[in-house]
Amino acid sequence: MKRGIDMKNVKILKGDLVYALSKDNVMFIKDGYLVIKEHIIEGAYKDLPSEYVNEEIEDYTGRIIMPGMIDLHVHASQYSFRGMGMDLELLDWLNTYTFKEESKYNSLDYANKAYEIYVEDLVKSTTTRACIFGTIHKEATLRLMEMLDKTGLKTMVGKVNMDRESPDYYIEHSADDSVKETIEFIKETSRFENTKPIITPRFVPSCTDELMEKLSRVREEHNLSVQSHLSENKKEIEWVKELNRKAHSYGEAYDMFGLFGGDYKAIMAHCVYSDDEELRRMKKNNVYVAHCPDSNVNLASGIAPIRKFLKYGVNVGLGSDVAAGYSISMFKAMVDALQVSKLYWRLVDNSVSPLSINEVFYLATLGGGSFFGNVGTFKKGYEADVIVMDDTSIKCPYDLTLEERLERLIYLSNDDNMVAKYVAGCKVYDALGNVDENRSEEKEIILV
């Protein structure tokens, strides 16, 4: 005990610190110290404050310590066919590959086998938090959440709702059925500590007005967030117009049912073709865009003009969108976001300038992290999501600045460069295989 600080719950990490305070302001502290107290960031320092100098230090000297990555949009049930079958556009892709695969999760045995692969790989990835789609199956989605809960990663998971315009083998038989299952699903998730439910209408075409209305009430009663898809593909948008003639935009087709944020949080994946009306609505309702550049390329959807969204002040984070995206790596998502922004500038509109390294780093950390509350940076009061990256395997014949090392890490590292991962102050992955034994008792973190 020094100056009244209980050091029992203090962690001090030493290394090269990198974190974004805003999209225009990334901090670089060479040989710095990150102090974590009760799972919360106390501060990031160039020099260790005197009250900590006699405390034990986790020494990551020479390695880069940064906030954990946030995956705002991923389909765990599609991880099984990642890297395959990306030769079709959205609607054909859904009917040819995706619904068939998702229907298999009707079997809990299959779900066990498939979700185990996703969860194992997620633990080894740089992601600390994710917003995840399951399938329409309550039991399989709960099984996924059981697995996720044990990892210490923080996640929001949705049982998917679909009661129309879907194949016979993969549809819920009525809005009431869908809602009943959803309510049961939500109740059963109360036993989890690290994973929380989120309302997940697949997209407007899959949900009747009745289902949308009832889901909205469920959302309100349980005070949950929403995740769905928006304005991804031109044919999809035309179809939404046909299905809901009252809505002036795709976004309004959620908003008119109260499923588009406002006094609660909502994530909409893609927004490749969101027009000004839709963007204004998103800004007004504080909706989060999950930018999924890899997916948008693989399904030839197009390129979302993220620079515009940032100018509008719309919240943006990154999503892997597996399996339309082929990898769960958020480092790859940063590269993809950079790259497609360059092509948008070159091929679509040269008044929309490309994103910078600092901007995509912000999107992958604080940009998406704020969906989870105070998450995604090393400011005092933020939950301590931390990854430690070793870049020594990426050799260079001359000395690099920390800025250069971040850039190179984004482009060239893979999961094997990760030495350790902490979520809310608790070590959930260690390249040497050490994780905090008393993880689940140790802390008490409430997801938004």
Asked if 112 contacts 146 with a C-beta cutoff of 8 angstroms, the reply is no
Minimum Å distance from CB 319 to a copy of itself? 17
For residues 85 and 4, what is the distance between their CA atoms, to the nearest angstrom? 59
Q: Nearer Cβ to a copy of itself, position 21 or 400? A: 400
> Position 17: which residue type?
L
Q: Nearer Cβ to a copy of itself, position 339 or 374? A: 339
For residues 448 and 445, what is the distance between their CA atoms, to the nearest angstrom? 10
For residues 57 and 79, what is the distance between their CA atoms, to the nearest angstrom? 38
The edge-to-edge listing of strands for the beta sheet with 386-389 is: 40-45, 25-37, 10-22, 58-67, 386-389, 418-423, 426-430
Q: Nearer Cβ to a copy of itself, position 302 or 367? A: 302
Minimum Å distance from CB 174 to a copy of itself? 30
For residues 286 and 413, what is the distance between their CA atoms, to the nearest angstrom? 33
Minimum Å distance from CB 264 to a copy of itself? 34
Q: Nearer Cβ to a copy of itself, position 90 or 375? A: 90
Strands (E), 352-443: 386-389, 418-423, 426-430
Q: Nearer Cβ to a copy of itself, position 346 or 380? A: 346
**Which position has the token pair 């079709």?**
88
Minimum Å distance from CB 267 to a copy of itself? 24
The DSSP result for 227-282, as a single string, is: EEEES--HHHHHHHHHH-TT-SSHHHHHHTTT-S-SSS-EEEEE-TT--HHHHHHH
**DSSP symbol at 191:** G
- Token output for 156: 């929001």
Q: Nearer Cβ to a copy of itself, position 98 or 161? A: 98
Q: Nearer Cβ to a copy of itself, position 14 or 332? A: 332
Minimum Å distance from CB 202 to a copy of itself? 22
Hey, which residues does 195 pair with through a beta bridge?
155
What are the residues binding a copy of itself (CB under 8 A)? 80-85, 87, 110, 113-114, 117, 121, 297-298, 300-303, 326-327, 335, 339-340, 342-343, 345-348, 354, 356-357, 394-398, 400, 404, 407-408, 410-412, 414, 416
Q: Nearer Cβ to a copy of itself, position 187 or 346? A: 346
Minimum Å distance from CB 330 to a copy of itself? 16
Minimum Å distance from CB 350 to a copy of itself? 10
Q: Nearer Cβ to a copy of itself, position 53 or 396? A: 396
Minimum Å distance from CB 300 to a copy of itself? 4
Minimum Å distance from CB 128 to a copy of itself? 22
Asked if 215 contacts 179 with a C-beta cutoff of 8 angstroms, the reply is yes
Q: Nearer Cβ to a copy of itself, position 303 or 375? A: 303
- Token output for 24: 């225009």
* Packing angle of the helix pair 330-343, 402-412 (nearest 10 deg): 90
Minimum Å distance from CB 284 to a copy of itself? 30
Hey, which residues does 187 pair with through a beta bridge?
none
Strands (E), 76-202: 127-133, 154-158, 160-161, 195-197, 200-201
Asked if 70 contacts 129 with a C-beta cutoff of 8 angstroms, the reply is yes
